Amino acid sequence: MIRIEDIKFDEDHYDLIIQFLNKITGLKLGYYKRKHIEKRIKSRMIRVNCFEFESYYRYLLENPTESDKFLLSFNINYSTFFRNWEVYEQLEDLILKSVNYNRADVISDLHPNPERKYRKKSKRKSHKIEDTSNKKKLEHRLKNKLSAEKFFTQSILYKKLKDFPRFKQPINIWSCPCANGEEPYSLTIIIDNLKKQIPQFPEFKIVASDIDENAIKRAKIGIYNEESTKNISRYFEKNYFVKEKAGFGFQYKLIEEIKDDIKFFEEDVMKGHQTSLVYDVIFCRYLLIYINKAVRRKFLKILENRLNVGGLLFLGKTETIFSSQSNLKLVDSLNRIYMKIN
């Protein structure tokens, strides 16, 4: 059996395939890490029984659907509502703390519904091991929370919320990239839920952008499958979605009221951002891990320039900023939250 490691092609061959796929799919593959793309091309090659560059390139030219299949295998727009839900809980905690509310003062619940069939079942462990590891995890989370809180009180989000209604400044949030809208809608749901329960609550402006025209179209439609809604809590599902039968499963339709709260843009952020807004919070999750070093550096600079001093940048759980020249300081290591300090 041929494995991915067995397939070899040189730089010129790689460039030819990339140029062709760029042209047909409209993807900017040059932004991504070569290792990542090569792996996907090679797995497609194995799938269609072409084990050398020449035969696969011919296959690409002769089979118009192959480029779409490559795109699907790349699964570039993958996202879910409340992806790493603890991160959203941390943001909700910060908002509550800033307006002098406790968790017990409002109704909210971010815990994913354990009954959703698309959720991964946790591996069986002995109770004893599970107890100690859970205890350690909780201690670690508590320690992280306490150290993060010190910094959060210096954030612009905290200050704007504290100053309200003496100073009525809107709070600007940018979800970049937003894929099919799961991330900005998760943020809108949290904020809308708090706004309905806290009488003096400032205005939040939420902007969301992605390079992919089709992803933005799907975001504006606001209908999602079981996979992308698997982390939604029972409480939010009940209040913000209409569940409908679709094929053998279900689809989840966002309520109209929520859909109007976000401004969506189709844009390549590497070429600039279409609004003149400066943000208090930016979510940039699960893009940096896929793009190459030079693009990542430029992308981060664009985001940093769009953040207010004291603004918070949320990265994906596995993402890190390495540059020592950046003004972004890690303030919550568990949830990968950075703050602009200068």
Ligand X SMILES: C[S@@+](CC[C@H](N)C(=O)[O-])C[C@H]1O[C@@H](n2cnc3c(N)ncnc32)[C@H](O)[C@@H]1O
Residues that bind ligand X (CB under 6 A): 31, 76-79, 83, 177, 179, 183, 210-212, 215, 268-270, 285-287, 316
The nearer residue to ligand X, 148 or 303, going by C-beta atoms, is 303
Give the whole-angstrom CA distance, residue 48 versus residue 235. 45
CB of 157 to ligand X, least distance (A): 19
- Closest distance between ligand X and the C-beta of residue 283, in Å? 6
Nearer to ligand X among residue 155 and residue 228 (C-beta) = 228
Q: Which is nearer to ligand X, 177 or 310 (CB)?
A: 177
| Nearest to ligand X of 64, 272 (CB atom) | 272
Give the Cα-Cα-Cα angle 282, 265, 340 (nearest 5 degrees).
15
Nearer to ligand X, 7 or 282 (CB): 282
Q: What is 205-267 written as a DSSP string?
A: EEEEEES-HHHHHHHHHTEE-TTTTTT--HHHHHHHEEEEEETTEEEEEE-HHHHTTEEEEE-
Residue number, 96 or 232, with CB nearest to ligand X: 232
Residue among 223, 277, 232, 228 at smallest CA distance from 251: 223
Could you tell me if 194 and 108 are in contact, meaning their C-beta atoms sit under 8 angstroms apart?
A: yes
CB atoms within 10 A of CB 242: 12
The tally of CA atoms less than 13 A away on the side-chain side of residue 68 is 3
Shortest separation between residue 291's beta carbon and ligand X, angstroms: 7
First-to-last CA distance in the chain? 55
Exposed/middle/buried for residue 83 (C-beta within 10 Å: 0-12, 13-18, 19+): buried
Reduced to 3 DSSP states, what percent helix, strand and coil does the chain have, rounded to the nearest 5?
A: 45, 15, 40
Q: Which CA distances in Å does 42 have to 10, 26, 50, 78? A: 13, 20, 9, 20
* Residue 33 CB, nearest approach to ligand X (Å): 12
CB of 194 to ligand X, least distance (A): 22
Smallest gap from Cβ 116 to ligand X, in A, equals 18
What's the min distance (Å) between Cβ of 77 and ligand X? 4
Query: What's at 120, amino acid-wise?
Result: K
Q: Give 75 or 342: the residue with its C-beta nearer to ligand X.
A: 75
